[in-house]
Amino acid sequence: MEVAQVIGAVFILVAFAALQLRRWRADDLPYLLLNVVGAGVLAVVAALGGDPGFLLLEGVWTIVSVWSLVQRLRTGTAVPR
């Protein structure tokens, strides 16, 4: 379980760092995929651990990331223009 937490956190942090360093944009597929997988893993860990605050945070993060990924795949950009 702890390994899953670390992997999920690393995925999110790598995406965040790449965004902040302007290596990736918010609508780049690697950024979106790392957020979906990382937050999804952390949401499952939170659910299994009975941590409602952490589940809320990571659950919403996952939902927003999935929505952005779907938008990106449909239109070519994460945010409708």
Please tell me the distance from the alpha carbon of residue 39 to that of residue 36, in angstroms, as a whole number. 6
Going from N- to C-terminal start, the domains of the chain cover: 2-75
pLDDT at 77 over 60: yes
pTM above 0.75, yes or no: yes
Amino acid letter at 46?
A
- Average pLDDT of span 27-49: 97
| Whole-number average pLDDT of the chain | 94
Res. 80: pLDDT tops 80: no
